[in-house]
Amino acid sequence: MTDKLSEAERELLSSLILRGEKIPARFGPSVLEEAPEMELVWSGKSRSQETTVLPFQSIEYIEEPREGFTENLGLLDWGGKSSAQRGWTNKLIWGDNKLILSSLARGPLAREINDGGGLKLVYIDPPFDVGYDFSIDVGVGDSEVTKEPSVIEQIAYRDTWGKGAESFASMMFERLRLIHSLLAEDGSIFLHVDYRTSSIIKFVLDEIFGIENFKNEIIWSYGAGGNPKEFFPRKHDTVFFYTKGNGTFNLDGGIMRTPYSQSTLETHFKKIDENGRRYRVQVVNGKEYTTFEDEGKLVTDVWTDIGGQNATSPISGEFTGYPTQKPEKLLERIIHATTNKGDLVADFFCGSGTTLAVAEKMGRRWVGSDLGRFAIHTSKKRLIGVQRSLKESGKDYGAFEVLNLGSYEREHRVDEKVKDEASLSSIDDLRRRRFVELVLEGYGAAGAEQLSGFDGLKGKTAVLVGPLDSPVTQTQIEECIGAALDIGVGRVDVLGFEFEMGVSPAMSDQAKELGLTLTLKYIPNEIFDQRAVQKSQVSFFEVGYLEVEPEVKDGSVRVKLTDFGVFYRQRDADEAAAALRPGGSAVLVDSGHVVRVSKQKSGEIKRDVLTSNWEDWIDYWAVDFNFESRPEIVLVKEDDQEVAKRSGRFIFENQWQSFRTPKEKSLELVSEWHLVDAPGEFRVAVKVIDIFGNDTTRVVTVGVR
């Protein structure tokens, strides 16, 4: 390839190499042995690929009871599904999709995916607004409060979107390479973008999937685009369609066709058959083709028949309130075109769960993931609604499980100049130490390096500070309990920005049985306000508490919620009110209540508490009437062999639930009666999810005679 270089270019390259300087990217195709024909180059681009394999922890199993099916077919079976679909349970996974993709591609689940025919379709709708901040408005009675992004979400934003186009390109390049490795040879990908990132993504897709596998640049025109003064109104998104090889493509079905225009009907469809159907006859290459009016015309790559308001309008049956929600009809067309019944569909930025809901309705298997805890909660409620709807209409449906990424880790991102592992480790350690010192200062605790397994000491209470950029896991808390018992500590406080799903005050009950007082507390975002720390104005609040009352009658059990409380605080209501202009108002969370503060024109401050009752905080609750009946079984690799092992945990089997929706805001506070199989003692688990998507679980022992 060097014969394409001029003498001057060769001398320049030689000089740069001798001086140890970087070679300009434009020389790549001329000097690299296997350089791509076309490549998008940006600062920080790396061809290294994530290889981490973390275990998936099954937190919850959800399946509406099936009439006529009494046999428990186990975690990896679909109760009434065909033999082609058995062996797979649909999966909703909370976590960083880079680690999820790597774990799916290289971990034990890779075999399950391959045995099921492979991943046939991936649709992703990544946040393409560089100002995306993960804020979501959630309903509280007739009002709304903004759920602010967690620190973990803010770090994800900073590292992947907050640095502009280059960080976005790097984020997508890593994930698309992993998706390509996961796709079946006849698999397809649809990537949804808008004007901000379409040019970047097209080059990245060409490089990874190959220009020869580009199929369509679909223009989805969804409606009015405002009234700008300096450019034409923007009224479309772009969906890129690529295949890995020879993909599936189905043209049949009404979803692939749109009605003919009136002028076309009047001009061309003049014949009428014996059944009164209008039609026309065309001759193409000497062959006659008959087309009927009611069949419609095949859609092109410009889709104008699917309005964006189909999903985002409150009057829509699809509406979830999720800000980036897409209409189901859009996904129906994509899934119909490129998959068949029983195929596996995935969405690794699942948001409100549209892809997963449509896949379920269309008889496809699915796997979805999202970094946002609230997205997982929204998707779960929606999918339960789909199960109920399919059951009521006499149609089949699949079970699904909610998973954490076990031993959750996030790779620390540091300056690219740091190359060796020793330097990398020292920077991570320094970052961690500074973070811990800040949290301990805000908590009023002192450092305690002499306490093995802990970070600080507040009076006689040992303090453990969770990670900066990931949730506190159940494993970390279990290790903390063990360490406390080993050194004879009687009180432990665990501080974290978020706690893994399934981690709850129930662990405090377990610790109490061992003689240990364990308290879980959230670290507030104000911890990064040095002035608030110095003035001791940072309030750490406990994970929610839950009180339940079980009732036994005639061999059946039901559960009543009797109390629930949270201690969230976004900011001080009085300070927020003082900052308002006369006539202004704000809704915020202060001291465990959602409060509307307003400033009258006279300057008088008015404060209205919107969560006047404890049940106002509850968005969802569910009951597992025999919690310890489903142990978690994990597949691990030992000596290159897959081995099934019990983790020691139990999966919450969602046997009854009540939750709020945009249309139905009421909530039942007493469960239905559940008939137990035989008399005895049972551990009943009750899970509550609050309006911000955080879960609290209580486990009680119930005796049935």
**Cβ neighbours of 196 (radius 10 Å):** 14
Blockwise average pLDDT, block size 10, the chain, 705 residues: 68 77 69 66 79 87 72 35 58 93 90 88 83 70 76 68 76 94 96 91 94 96 77 91 92 86 87 88 86 87 84 71 88 96 96 96 96 92 96 93 70 36 53 86 89 91 88 88 92 91 73 90 82 76 88 94 86 77 85 84 85 90 93 76 80 94 91 90 93 89 89
| DSSP characters over 107-139 | STHHHHHHHTT-EEEEEE-----TT----EEEE
Collapsed DSSP state (helix, strand, coil) of residue 200:
helix
Contact 503, 496 (CB under 8 A): no
Contact 513, 486 (CB under 8 A): no
pLDDT of res. 36:
61
Residue 359 to residue 85: CA distance in whole angstroms: 13
Q: Who contacts 315 (Cβ-Cβ below 8 Å, separation ≥6)?
A: none
Return the amino acid letter for 138. V
What's the first-to-final CA gap in the chain, in angstroms? Answer: 83
Whole-number Cα distances in Å, 32 to 23, 35, 161:
12, 5, 30
Contact 651, 632 (CB under 8 A): yes
Contact 387, 349 (CB under 8 A): no
Which of 101, 106, 149, 102 minimizes the C-alpha distance to 127? 149
Chain position carrying tokens 């992703």: 124
> Which CATH number is 56-259+296-405 given?
3.40.50.150
Contact 158, 413 (CB under 8 A): no
Burial letters for 674-693: b for 16+ Cβ neighbours within 10 Å, e otherwise? beeeeeeebebbbbbbbbbb
Q: Cα-atom radius of gyration of the chain, to the nearest Å? A: 28
* Exposed/middle/buried for residue 478 (C-beta within 10 Å: 0-12, 13-18, 19+): middle
Residue 343 to residue 350: CA distance in whole angstroms: 18
* Exposed/middle/buried for residue 449 (C-beta within 10 Å: 0-12, 13-18, 19+): exposed
Contact 238, 198 (CB under 8 A): yes
What residues pair up with 247 in beta bridges, in sequence order?
Answer: none
Residue 296 to residue 323: CA distance in whole angstroms: 33
Burial letters for 596-621: b for 16+ Cβ neighbours within 10 Å, e otherwise? bbbbeeeeeeeeeebbeebebbbbbb
Which of 464, 533, 532 minimizes the C-alpha distance to 499? 464
Bridging pattern class, strands 287-292 and 652-654? unpaired
Q: Who contacts 505 (Cβ-Cβ below 8 Å, separation ≥6)?
A: 520, 543, 544, 545, 546, 696, 697, 698
37-45, Cβ contacts within 8 angstroms, sequence gap of 24 or more: 37/211, 38/203, 38/206, 38/207, 38/211, 39/203, 39/207, 40/169, 40/200, 40/203, 40/204, 40/207, 42/165, 42/166, 42/169, 42/170, 43/166, 44/166, 44/167, 44/170, 44/416, 45/169, 45/170, 45/173
Q: Who contacts 47 (Cβ-Cβ below 8 Å, separation ≥6)?
A: none
Residue 565 to residue 568: CA distance in whole angstroms: 10
Contact 576, 583 (CB under 8 A): no
Residue 273 to residue 22: CA distance in whole angstroms: 73
Burial letters for 90-121: b for 16+ Cβ neighbours within 10 Å, e otherwise? bbbbbbbbbbbbbbbbbbbbbebbeebbbbbb
**Cβ neighbours of 8 (radius 10 Å):** 8
Return the amino acid letter for 702. V
> Which pair of tokens denotes residue 159?
């590292």
How distant is the alpha carbon of residue 15 from its chain centre? 49
Contact 577, 599 (CB under 8 A): yes
